[in-house]
Amino acid sequence: MKTVRSMLSCLALIALAPAMSSLAHADSLDRIAQTKVVRIGVFQDYPPFGSIGTDMQPRGLDIDLAAVLAAKLGARVELVPVTGTNRIAYLTDHKVDLLMSVGQTPARDKVLDFTHAYAPYYIAVFGPKTLEVKQAADLAGKSVATAGGTNEDVSLTKVAPATVTIKRFDDQSGAISAFLSGQTQLISLGGDVATRVRAQHPQTSMDEKLRLLDSPMHIAVNKGEAPLRDRLNAALDDARKDGSIDKIEKKWLGPATL
């Protein structure tokens, strides 16, 4: 009799599993409305979009914009540190509700939905002035640092000749440190990030060599989260109208270009 009851209990749990799973991954906008908390994945090693200040607090364009968006959603922002290699998994595993600073690509379109672009961005190969690189073929035999799994990595890999040595690091900080310390001759990096690196290390020659990709920044949500995507688009539109985005872009990027 006990065995029968156990079997029935197991069957009941199995029957409830889909409903429990659905509840666990309920519409993110509903969850945000109920908890009044929005979990936002941000880089902490990617200035000017996200970094850690001398006060050990996160700072950057994405950090400021996340606070604006949370307020417009009527929620408190919870910043979740992510890297180029783990951030998509954090989103699909529902550890965060949305991600900042995501370039839209055909591959990502299959698993993610994107808001309107909120900041301009491009990716290029940078290196010393004395090193001549005018086209992808000129990368042959050279070494290039990049953050693995990012658009900087993907766009470089697409054009790199077979003899290029691509050194992939867990995050942007690792790639930048490798280039600055001479471990690689070149680096694949975002234009705004390169500008900040040059300003912080004026003794380093870091010229743009080869433009790889124009990739404006978007906010990414999970596929099928249209209500959240639409609310975020409305919040971005409102932030442009009230001047919030313009103020943030001028602070971190200079005059707005979008």
**Domain coordinates of the chain in residue numbers?**
26-120+216-252, 122-214
pTM over 0.85: no
Contact 146, 167 (CB under 8 A): yes
pLDDT at 26: 54
Domain 122-214, what architecture? 3-Layer(aba) Sandwich (3.40)
Same fold for the domain at 26-120+216-252 and the one at 122-214?
yes
Treating both helix axes as pointing N-terminal to C-terminal, what angle do 226-241 and 244-252 enclose, rounded to 10 degrees?
A: 80
Domain 26-120+216-252, what architecture? 3-Layer(aba) Sandwich (3.40)
Torsion on CA atoms 216, 220, 225, 231, rounded to nearest 10: -60
Cα first-last separation, the chain: 70
Instruction: Identify the weakest region by mean pLDDT among 6-15, 68-77, 110-119, 220-229.
Output: 6-15
Instruction: Kindly report, residue by residue over 204-238, the tens digit of the pLDDT.
Output: 999 999 999 988 999 999 999 999 999 999 999 99
